[in-house]
Amino acid sequence: MQNNFEIVNMLTLRAKKIWLNRLAEMREKNLNPYDGHDTVGAITLDKQGSMAAATSTSGLFMKKAGRIGDSPLSGSGFYVDSEIGGAAATGLGEDIMKGCLSYEIVRLMGEGKSPQQACDQAVYPFIEKLKKRYGKAGEFSLVAMNHNGEWGVATNVEFTFSVGNETKAPRILMANPGPDHTTSIAPITQEWLDAYEKRIKAPIN
């Protein structure tokens, strides 16, 4: 407003229908707000070696008023140190915050771990700790990159992410939990991409 930007209602008819349908689902199927969430996280490295990490989230869908998730909290939703690397998280913020996972991944990279080793070492033992303490762990995924441009990812769900640089075109990859605290990573298939596009463009009744 101070810079004369036009004030626009960002709520689309499609989004409103999705919200109304979820309200009905919550009443009829006794769903709770934790049955759906999403965050976009990004880590960048420029030609001068400066790094940045960022998150963008609509927050937990149907969340209670006043809830604050991990996304705006440095060390939880994101963390970066240009001399080491950065990390960003998506998923259930209440659980991610219990481990300060983005900071932990950067700390491990600072000890000499590769981004993939740091992600695996930070995320999977923490998932087991949550399950032991609370009987369950929320869904979450983390991406990381070090100051050399090497990257890593860890997740406890099926998780898609994208990587690219000045020499390699951006590509979409799929990560899944692997055996023995590791992460399985493979390119997405055209079949998966077609199904995804069909799903997000499907009419909302």
Q: Give residue-wise pLDDT tens across range 95-132.
A: 898 999 999 999 999 999 999 999 999 999 999 999 99
Which domains are assigned to the chain?
Answer: 38-55+68-200 (3.60.20.30)
Q: Which residues pair with 57 in a beta bridge?
A: 39
- Tell me the pLDDT band of 73, cut-offs 50, 70 and 90: confident
Region of residue 77 (left: phi > 0; alpha: psi -120 to 50; beta: else): alpha
Q: Give residue-wise pLDDT tens across range 16-42.
A: 888 888 888 878 877 666 655 567 899
- Would you say residue 170 has pLDDT above 80? yes
- Across residues 65-86, what is the average pLDDT? 87
Cα–Cα distances in Å, from 189 out to 158, 175, 199? Answer: 14, 13, 15
- Would you say residue 164 has pLDDT above 90? yes
Is 39 a catalytic site residue?
Answer: yes
Output the pLDDT for position 34. Answer: 60
Output the pLDDT for position 37. Answer: 58
- Active-site entry in 39, 90, 155, 183: 39
Could you report how far apart the first and last alpha carbons of the chain are, in Å? Answer: 35
